Structures are given as C-alpha cells and as structure tokens.
Amino acid sequence: MAASPALEAPETVDRHGRRWFYRHPLVIRLAHWINAVVLLVLLMSGLQIFNAHPALYWGAVSTFDDPALAITSEQGGDGKSRGVVTVGTHSLDTTGVLGLSRGAGGADVERAFPAWATLPADQDLATGRRWHFLFAWLLVINGAVYLLYGLFSGQLRRRLIPDGDQIHDFGGSVKEHLLLRFPEGTEAKRYNVIQKLTYLVLVLGLLPAMVLAGLAMSPGMDAAWPWLTELFGGRQSARSVHFIAAGLIVLFVVVHVLLVLVSGLVNNMRGMITGWFSLGRDRETAR
C-alpha cells in the first residue's frame, strides 16, 4: 500500500482493545456543524426568495412567456386548482407540494414551495432576503476558515485528495462503496476515493459556485465585477445555476445523511462531535 498520511495518523487502543483514531480536528468539527445549520437556513430562505418569482430563465433577461422552469398553479377542467411544475414543454402535476400546498391556516395556498420548506413559513420576501444575506456571510466566513485551516494544516490534502493506490484501484473502491461495504481497521482512517472526490466537488466546486452565482445576481456586483455575471452567461442564467447548484447540494446532503446512517451512525456522530472515531477491534491489536 502506498504511503498515505491519513493511514499513518496516530491512534490509541483502549483497555478493551478497541482502536481509536482522532479523525476530525476541532476546527473541522465546528465548521461542519456551522455549515449544516447555515446551509439549512440558506436553503429555506432561498426557497422563500424563489417563491417571489417561481420561474427560471437562461441569458441576461427573463422571457416571461417561455421560462426554462416554472412552478405555478392552474385551474383544471373541473374548476379545481392544481400545482404544476413545467420544465421546457413537459409539465407535471405536483399538487400538495409544489405550486399548490396546504398553508398555515389549513387551506390550500398557491405558492411554489410549501410553507414547511420556506423561511419564514409565510410568504415574506423581505425577511427571507434578510436571513439569506446574513447567512450567506456566515457561509463565506465559515468556508474561508475551513479552507485556510485545511490548507495550512494539510487536512485538506489528506482528506480530499485521493492517494496513489486509491486512484489505481478506482474500480475496486467504487464497487466496495456501491455494495455498502465499509472498510474497518486501518483503511477506515481515510475516506475512500468516491468520498474524497465527492467532498472535493462540494468544497471546491459546488459551494464556491453557489456563492459566485449568488453574487452574480447582484446589480451592485455586476457593476463592480461585470465578468462575474458574464461567466454565468447573464443574470438569469446565474439565477438558474444558483437554483440547480442548490438542488445538487440537497442531493449531496441526502446521500451523505443516508450513508452516515448505514455506515454506523453512532461512530460517525461521535467522530464529528468529539473527534474520536473507532476503528473497531481488529485482529492486529487483539492478538
């Protein structure tokens, strides 16, 4: 096996013969939990903002009659309203969740995302924007601390860059991961290659793209840095990219939480709360 700094990280063995490894330094643990709360607030306030004009376009401006995506409600032939998501020329009945959903008062309300998914729960663009912009700053500050710490401590490289042997055995790693076979012992001291690449895409791709696409929608930023809005192909494209990237981050979180559950909730949570991760009681130490 090629030398990997992660695999050589120090560990201790308790009196029951269980191997322990200090997996997450304090800064990373704090950054993780702050990020979790911040992303939830950003998502929900973002959906509130989206609800103010629930349609997406490409390019600089809105072409109101043919949006790329729209969440609306329309009256059916029976006189009943229904929620509809339209993507291009395809539409889907989403009554109850998107377009038309139960409001706080119990009656059906016409709104793109339902009350339980938005912050504030009621339709309130002004307050939604205030939450969004305050927490966007927290995301950026928290992300900057994480990245600077990660770079200078070597944690970023150790955690996110695949080791040589992992790249050679890429196919094997993918198969192990898809079969939900999680490594134990020394190998559990590092993320597998799919984890590393996923986190890499999230940390250096999706989250920065999210921030930049958000800034690209700002008329003030467009005046200061016109290249930024242009990078996304115009303000409305930037808004669409922001929405799609949000969807991908939600997808990441769902898969992430599922994998935390199936790969050992207690050990994973203990690791991210106290830093200590158990490598199990393997034969090397239980001699």
Q: Are 115 and 121 in contact (CB under 8 A)?
A: yes
CB of 26 to other proteins, least distance (A): 21
Structure tokens at 260: 């935390």
How many other C-beta atoms lie within 10 A of the C-beta of residue 105?
8
Least distance to other proteins, CB of residue 236, Å: 6
Residue closer to other proteins, measured from CB, 133 or 149: 133
If the CB atoms of residues 52 and 197 are measured against other proteins, the closer one turns out to be 52
Measure the CA–CA gap between 100 and 103, rounded to whole angstroms.
9
Sign of CA dihedral 231, 233, 235, 240: negative
- Which is nearer to other proteins, 46 or 162 (by Cβ)? 46
Cis peptide before 120 (omega within 30 of 0): yes
Task: CB nearer to other proteins: give 87 or 174.
Answer: 87
Closest separation in Å from C-beta 5 to other proteins: 31
Give the footprint of other proteins on this chain (CB under 8 A).
37, 40-41, 44, 49-50, 52-53, 55, 57, 60-62, 64, 119-121, 123-127, 129-131, 133-137, 215, 217-226, 229, 235-236, 239, 265-266, 269
Identify the bridge partners of residue 276 per DSSP, sorted by sequence position. Answer: 22
User: Least distance (Å) from other proteins to the CB of residue 51?
Assistant: 9
Answer for the pair 210, 245: CB distance below 8 angstroms, yes or no.
yes
Q: How far is the CB of 99 from other proteins (least distance, A)?
A: 17
Question: Distance (Å, rounded) from C-alpha 13 to C-alpha 281?
Answer: 9
Cite the beta strand spans of 16-128 per DSSP E.
Answer: 19-22, 55-56, 69-75, 81-87, 90-93, 99-102, 108-111
By beta-carbon proximity to other proteins, the closer residue of 119 and 188 is 119
Q: Residue 82 or residue 270: which is nearer to other proteins going by CB?
A: 270
From 46, 205, 216, select the one nearest 134 (Cα to Cα).
46
Q: Report the nearest approach of other proteins to the CB of residue 283 (Å).
A: 23
For residue 174, give both structure tokens.
């993918």
DSSP 95: T
Burial status of residue 26 (CB atoms within 10 A of its CB: 0-12, 13-18, 19 or more): exposed
> What's the DSSP call for residue 124?
-
Nearer to other proteins, 134 or 204 (CB): 134
CB of 188 to other proteins, least distance (A): 18
